[in-house]
A = this chain, B = another copy of it.
Amino acid sequence: MEEKQNVKAEALRYIILAVQRHGNRILNDLLKSIGLTASQAEVLRTLRDRKGLSLKELGQLLICESGSPSRLVERLVRDGLVEKIAHSKDSRYVTLQLTQTGKEKEHLVENIEKQLYGQLNQAYSEEELELMCTLLGRFLKGQPITETLKKRGYWN
């Protein structure tokens, strides 16, 4: 008798995967026009909102990566969107800031993300969005990632 439940759990598992991929594809397609990936865009948005972050602090704010975003940032530096600044007191730290180009791209990202959110708002009412967040969020209760979500303002 547990089999039917498992089928539903399995269905949810794969639907979550499919939705995540689908949304990511939508966003990446939109971002392609400005030569960014969704993960890179998340870094730009985060660096704009919080200045002077270290690599470690940035890593604790990203949902897209659980480890350290060394290489993600490396590519943004290579592409001239982010600068690394040595910390004067503790040279283990690197602090990050957007370059002028980075700031300009960040602004474009904002608008592109609005298009994605527009699609979500078209598909769902505010109540439904909240309901999904609450239900899905229940599965994350007690997990480290909830700290990140709280810091970002996506968690009560």
A residues lining the B interface (CB < 8 Å): 2, 4-23, 25, 63-64, 66, 113-114, 116-117, 120-121, 123-124, 126, 128-133, 135-140, 143, 145, 148-149, 152-155
Could you tell me the distance between the alpha carbons of A152 and B15 in the complex, rounded to whole angstroms?
11
Q: How many identical subunits does the complex contain?
A: 2
Which of B8, B16, B22, B155 is within 8 Å of A145, CB to CB? Answer: B22
- Decide yes or no: A133 and B18 within 8 Å by CB, A5-B121, A124-B138, A153-B7 being known contacts: no
Which of B15, B137, B140, B152 is within 8 Å of A140, CB to CB? Answer: B15
| Chain B nearest CB, measured from A11 CB (Å) | 4
Interface pair A8/B131, CB less than 8 Å apart: no
- Decide yes or no: A117 and B5 within 8 Å by CB, A63-B17, A132-B135 being known contacts: yes
Could you tell me the distance between the alpha carbons of A114 and B9 in the complex, rounded to whole angstroms?
9
Question: What are 10 A-B pairs with beta-carbon distances under 8 A?
Answer: A4-B126, A5-B121, A8-B130, A9-B121, A11-B129, A12-B136, A17-B20, A22-B139, A123-B138, A124-B135
Which of B7, B21, B120, B124 is within 8 Å of A66, CB to CB? Answer: B21
Could you tell me the distance between the alpha carbons of A124 and B8 in the complex, rounded to whole angstroms?
10
Residues of B within 8 A of A116 (CB): 9, 13
Residues of B within 8 A of A138 (CB): 123-124
Interface pair A63/B140, CB less than 8 Å apart: no
Which of B8, B12, B18, B133 is within 8 Å of A11, CB to CB? Answer: B133
Interface pair A154/B16, CB less than 8 Å apart: no
